[in-house]
Chains A and B, each alone.
Chain A
Amino acid sequence: MSTRTATLAEQVTLIELVDRVLNKGVVLSGDITLSVAGVDLVYVGLRLLLTSVASLEERAAGEE
């Protein structure tokens, strides 16, 4: 349980971090130029993480 919880916490922390760096923070000019393909690549990894977090949540809830 403790190992799984640590992993879940790490995954959530990573998602929170990347979400902040890419979607929050000060924007000084209108022409903030992210390569869309590059962002998609980062988000593909995130979606995998989110999926695994969601399934962990469900498993945890099912065990109660």
Chain B
Amino acid sequence: MTLHLYAVTAGSAGPPQVTGIAGGAVRSVAIGDVSAVVGDVGEGPAAPTEAAVLEHARVVEELMGTSDALLPARFGHGFADEGELAGAIAARERELAAALQQVRSCVELGLRVVRRDVAAGPASDGSGTDYMRRRLGSVREAEATANEVHDALAASARASRRQVLATPKLLLTGAYLVPKQDVDSFREGVDDVEQRHPELSFVCTGPWPPYSFATVDTDASDA
């Protein structure tokens, strides 16, 4: 049997009242100051089918209802047994404790900001140099707008992540760690910023479990 990891929680949680991938049992294993929420998934790591991915997300979502500090696991952890799991947790004990402290009582809100005004292709007039110069200018302008939008929202979040211009249309992909009781006021902040930018479309999603703030193996700076 392989152990599939759903999440890491602070303290020793009671037995989770949820059903796992493919109807499997879910249990909480206390390791030091944290607990790992795992389930058996047969031989080898769980296959990343769309159904399994959605079930993993559902389990994490349900755990959020009973745990105040939880780090969702990226899909695909397969541990041979509890010993291997305990070793992996112990190796990152300090980082996990710090990440759990940061996300406590918080949820994640997602934001995608799409440009409505992106030109379909290069203008026909002018030299290649002119075109490149205009294009560079427009990219810099877009980056400045993306950073302004992000900074305005990040100011009222406990932590944030940004990706600017993932595609020419997708100006900003943001994630914001917000205390649960501040979700409504954060959304109002998004509405305010949106009204200042009629040239942009805003899509705010969530609240999510804090997936974007559960990374412990890299530094915590903006991506």
Contacts and interface: CB of A to CB of B under 8 A. Distances in A.
B88 interface: yes
A33 B46 CA distance: 9
30 contacts: A13-B205, A16-B110, A16-B112, A17-B54, A18-B53, A20-B57, A21-B53, A22-B48, A22-B53, A22-B76, A23-B74, A26-B96, A26-B216, A27-B73, A27-B77, A28-B8, A28-B73, A28-B77, A28-B88, A28-B92, A29-B77, A33-B45, A33-B76, A35-B47, A38-B47, A38-B48, A38-B49, A41-B49, A45-B50, A57-B114
Interface of A: 9, 12-13, 16-18, 20-29, 32-35, 38-39, 41-42, 45, 54, 57, 61
Contact of A22 (B71, B75, B114): B75
Contact of B75 (A21, A28, A41): A21
Interface string B209-222: 00110111100000
B18 to A, nearest CB: 16
Nearest to B36: A28
Nearest to B78: A33
Main secondary structure of the interface of A (DSSP, over half): helix
A61 B57 CA distance: 32
Given A26-B73, A29-B88, A42-B53, A21 B205 contact: no
Contacts of A35: 47-48
Interface in B66-104: 71-78, 88-89, 91-92, 96, 99
Contacts of A23: 74
Interface residues of B, number: 42
Contact of A16 (B205, B214, B215): B205
A47 B112 CA distance: 16
Contact of B74 (A27, A38, A41, A61): A27
A48 to B, nearest CB: 12
B186 interface: no
A35 to B, nearest CB: 6
B34 to A, nearest CB: 11
A30 B96 CA distance: 16
A41 B49 CA distance: 8
A41 B47 CA distance: 11
Given A16-B112, A21-B75, A26-B215, 14 more contacts: A16-B205, A17-B208, A18-B50, A20-B57, A21-B211, A22-B74, A22-B76, A24-B72, A24-B215, A26-B72, A26-B73, A26-B99, A33-B78, A41-B50
